[in-house]
Amino acid sequence: MLSRLLLLLALPLVAADPSKVLFLGNSYTGVNGLPKVYAEIAKSAGRPVTKVAASHPGGRTLQDHLTIKGTLDLIDQGGWDVVIVQGQSLEAALSENNPKIKWNDGSVTDFLEGGEALVGKIRERSPRGRIILYQTWARHADYWTATKTRESALSLGADPAEMLSRNGKWYGELAKATGAEVAPVGIAWGLNYASKEPLRLHSADNSHPAFAGTYLAALVIFGRTHGLPKEAPTWRGDAKASVDDATIALLLSYATGAIGR
């Protein structure tokens, strides 16, 4: 009994906040500077992250990252507390039809195979680190009505709800296969678009995030790495892009709803 009590006293009351966080992704991570937004939210919540680094060349798949020097150099630094991993925005949804996807350059990718290999490489260098899969969102409904993109849109699903369902399924499969966690960013976006007065989270291309979309992604990821704050973060953005207090409170409610599912 005494030895058990001493053991309990020796354990930390709360898990330590991560001090070194690495983001691996593509333009969905790079646009609007998601790593910076995440770091600023952490700082404004009184829980700053000492080091945040990223590799996010545009359009790259999980399999691509296995050959990208910038990614491999960061992984090899090792000692990461958390590594956020984001796949190319189409590969999870397209995996529903064929796990091996042929891209325009002729290369073939496999979402699960590439993800498992990437997670394995990360664990070799950061065996104590948490790996969190950044589940992306569906394209905007307008993407399905655009004449030039309708055929390609239908390959992602009949509508945003089906694309989001596919994304959730395949990121979930990758999490089960690797023991990684999932940051349900896409689910949070879906809650917004299912509301009576949704915010426009997509940019004009119906794919990439507007600043509010990036802020929501950062909130969900912060919720996974630290736990969501009880009060809305005070950081609104900078001179280039910002959101108001009412929007931040609304985004926080969607992040809370997604993580609570």
Give the domain ranges of the chain. Answer: 18-259
In tens digits, the chain (261 residues) has pLDDT values of 434 433 333 333 345 899 999 999 999 999 999 999 999 999 999 999 999 999 999 999 999 999 999 999 999 999 999 999 999 999 999 999 888 887 777 777 899 999 999 999 999 999 999 999 999 999 999 999 987 777 778 889 999 999 999 999 999 999 999 999 999 999 999 999 999 999 999 999 999 999 999 999 999 999 999 999 888 999 999 989 999 999 999 999 999 999 987
pLDDT at 113: 95
State the Cα–Cα distance between residues 55 and 23, nearest whole angstrom: 6
The two three-digit tokens of residue 125, written as one number: 């260098």
Distances (CA, A) of 99 to 92, 109, 113: 8, 8, 9
Place of tokens 């064929």: 98
Give the chain's mean pLDDT: 91
User: Are 112 and 61 contacting, i.e. CB atoms less than 8 angstroms apart?
Assistant: no
Helix (H) or strand (E) holding 259: helix 245-259
Statement: the pTM of the whole predicted model exceeds 0.85: yes
- Which pLDDT score, from 0 to 100, does residue 8 have? 33
121 touches 76 (CB < 8 A): no
Bridge partners, 132 (sequence order): 84, 181
Superfamily per CATH, domain 18-259: SGNH hydrolase (3.40.50.1110)
Query: Which residues sit opposite 82 in a β-bridge?
Result: 21, 130
Report the DSSP beta bridge partners of residue 237.
242
How confident is the model at residue 180, as a pLDDT?
98
Among residues 62, 56, 52, the alpha carbon closest in space to that of 25 is found at 56
